[in-house]
Chains A and B, each alone.
Chain A
């Protein structure tokens, strides 16, 4: 069937990304929002918008009944879950189907099978895909999980079985601190996914994280769209992703791609998915292990879109309406180099503390090979209760070196003021000789933490600019004047008064 109206059960940049694809496909769009997001950019980006509850995600973006009611009231015929929130919740996929709505994603049984790391691992072993040595605690008590960690040996990783994105994942370095970490992992798992079941596996030292994008349709076709290297991460939260990976040879790429297609075909996979691998070593000798399968669109999907020249969201919409994949394996190729930088509202100099508040100034870079996926606009308030991702910068260029130069130049013209962001940190990572050389691993950020996070030297130029700054305090309704220079800006829209300084 042809989709006419799609509701996006998400917020921020991903909701806006999906609305764009819908508009291009002449599909009407419905946004949902919590009370914290009344003025959010994604609400303005849709054809209609429905309030679904108070600020906490549990009562809004995770509220299945409210989302289904919104879909019914707006006569939507499909729901796109985005990433995070309900995207990998099989009950939600089932509830959509029961309500006569198309869930834009794989079958509920596939989400269920892959969502449990335990079941996913078994399925991969059966399909002949290599897996990381691990243990499955049948006894899910804290002591039971600890015993399982002991039996595979320290260091070990404890993860939310229902998880993804690093939430609820902890490193157990020794037996003495393990219980506290297990309890913390369980709390984070329960709070993020509503399921505290934990999973334990061996910790591979200095590994890379390389994942393969797969895509299937409801006619049994499955292809892969090459790899994304996601080794630049911090506490299992990805920061910079790129394609191609510097670590794999064409032969290894082909083996990984084939393994991913085998794995996806075994689950009769429909829609966009990602097979994550741990990579040990590099070049022809690299060995890869199945880590997990994400049964959704990934945050870093623009990297694949850039090197493969495809639109993954548009393809999701086509496949959801029953069409065949727009590509065959042989029609796909990987061209040039793409890098994605995640711009987070966080303060790297203060232990990456998440930041909330108003974006007094926010100006996106533009130019050839520069793509911005943003969930905010200048003047927006970044709320405290959701993910701190503000925007994604994706650059593409002919070579990796040129792509790095382009990303750095773009970030140097990406001013965000009012709250701290990781933009200066991203520039330092990109410009680091270790990153430029391509010899990266998942511990790269921790290894170079001091150099990457130290505050900048105070320069005369910075002081000169600060001394002549104009106020950004907008005289918003109900807010009293708090600046002694505010009267300069009584006129017109306060944001038009802001400009680059000192031209």
Chain B
């Protein structure tokens, strides 16, 4: 059986074809590694190979790459909201600290990625926030 999967790395797309135990990666027949660990988690593929870790995303037909919504600032990891420096309406400059999260005993500042005005603050002090969820929006 012939199967093709498209894998996205940070900056490129790669095609891997499998048929009858043969592997063709980006057009090159590749000997599978003798000792690697690979795990699928949803559309993510995690690989541990000789001390390096690779994470790929499986490209699905008809689905665009998830893109971060411009002007929305999200938590990089699950964290607690420690402080909110800029309520709605505040005019901010690129690099200003808008709010500060705390995770694993460390402070994580969320900074403005552009000049603008804070339109909405979607969290309150003490909230436990999840990665990818919009915390604050700029216009």
Interface of B is mostly: strand
Q: Interface with A: B22-30, B88-96, B115-123, which one?
A: B22-30
Query: Cβ of A412 and Cβ of B42 under 8 Å apart?
Result: no
* B42 partner residues in chain A, CB cutoff 8 A: 473, 482-483
Query: Is B5 interfacial (CB-CB < 8 Å)?
Result: yes
Query: Cβ of A472 and Cβ of B40 under 8 Å apart?
Result: yes
Give the most central of A386, A387, A458: most B CB within 10 Å.
A458
Which residue from A411, A414, A470 sits with its C-beta under 8 Å from B39? A470
Query: Per-position contact with A for B71-108: 1 when CB-CB < 8 Å, else 0?
Result: 00000111110000000000000000000001111111
Query: Is B52 interfacial (CB-CB < 8 Å)?
Result: yes
Q: How many B residues touch A, CB cutoff 8 Å?
A: 49
Can you show 11 pairs from A to B with CB atoms below 8 A apart?
A354-B104, A360-B46, A388-B104, A417-B48, A461-B33, A463-B26, A466-B47, A467-B16, A467-B25, A472-B39, A473-B41
Q: Interface with B: A184-192, A314-322, A437-445, which one?
A: A184-192
* A360 partner residues in chain B, CB cutoff 8 A: 39, 41, 46
Which residue from A192, A355, A502 sits with its C-beta under 8 Å from B77? A355
* B16 partner residues in chain A, CB cutoff 8 A: 463-464, 466-467
Query: Is B36 interfacial (CB-CB < 8 Å)?
Result: yes
Q: Interface with B: A75-83, A141-149, A419-427, which one?
A: A419-427
Give the most central of B34, B45, B76: most A CB within 10 Å.
B45
Query: Cβ of B23 and Cβ of A423 under 8 Å apart?
Result: no
Query: Is B62 interfacial (CB-CB < 8 Å)?
Result: no
Query: Is B18 interfacial (CB-CB < 8 Å)?
Result: yes
Segment 157-174 of A: residues with Cβ below 8 Å from B: 167
Bound CA–CA A192/B104 (angstroms):
10
Query: Cβ of B105 and Cβ of A167 under 8 Å apart?
Result: yes
Measured CB to CB, the nearest residue on chain A to B45 is A466
Query: Per-position contact with B for A349-368: 1 when CB-CB < 8 Å, else 0?
Result: 01001111000110100000
Query: Is B20 interfacial (CB-CB < 8 Å)?
Result: no
B residues with CB within 8 A of A? 5, 7, 9-10, 12, 14, 16, 18, 23, 25-26, 28, 30-42, 45-54, 56, 76-80, 102-108, 128
Give the most central of A361, A363, A387: most B CB within 10 Å.
A361
* A386 partner residues in chain B, CB cutoff 8 A: 104-105
Query: Is A116 interfacial (CB-CB < 8 Å)?
Result: no
Query: Is A491 interfacial (CB-CB < 8 Å)?
Result: no
How close is B104's CB to chain A, nearest CB, in angstroms? Answer: 4
Bound CA–CA A423/B18 (angstroms):
30
Query: Per-position contact with B for A40-52: 1 when CB-CB < 8 Å, else 0?
Result: 0000000000000
Query: Cβ of A417 and Cβ of B51 under 8 Å apart?
Result: no
Bound CA–CA A498/B22 (angstroms):
22
* A415 partner residues in chain B, CB cutoff 8 A: 37, 48
Measured CB to CB, the nearest residue on chain A to B17 is A467
Query: Cβ of A424 and Cβ of B53 under 8 Å apart?
Result: yes
Query: Cβ of B18 and Cβ of A467 under 8 Å apart?
Result: yes
Query: Is A283 interfacial (CB-CB < 8 Å)?
Result: no
* B104 partner residues in chain A, CB cutoff 8 A: 354, 356, 384-388
* A483 partner residues in chain B, CB cutoff 8 A: 40-42
With A464-B32, A472-B41 as contacts: A458 and B54 at CB distance below 8 Å:
yes
* B76 partner residues in chain A, CB cutoff 8 A: 350, 353
How close is A390's CB to chain B, nearest CB, in angstroms? Answer: 12
Query: Cβ of A465 and Cβ of B38 under 8 Å apart?
Result: yes
Query: Is A485 interfacial (CB-CB < 8 Å)?
Result: yes
Bound CA–CA A483/B47 (angstroms):
18
Give the most central of A187, A354, A387, A464: most B CB within 10 Å.
A464
Query: Cβ of A465 and Cβ of B40 under 8 Å apart?
Result: no
* A461 partner residues in chain B, CB cutoff 8 A: 30-33, 36, 49
Bound CA–CA A192/B41 (angstroms):
34
With A187-B107, A464-B25 as contacts: A412 and B51 at CB distance below 8 Å:
yes
Query: Is A250 interfacial (CB-CB < 8 Å)?
Result: no
* B14 partner residues in chain A, CB cutoff 8 A: 458, 463
Bound CA–CA A116/B98 (angstroms):
34
Bound CA–CA A411/B30 (angstroms):
25
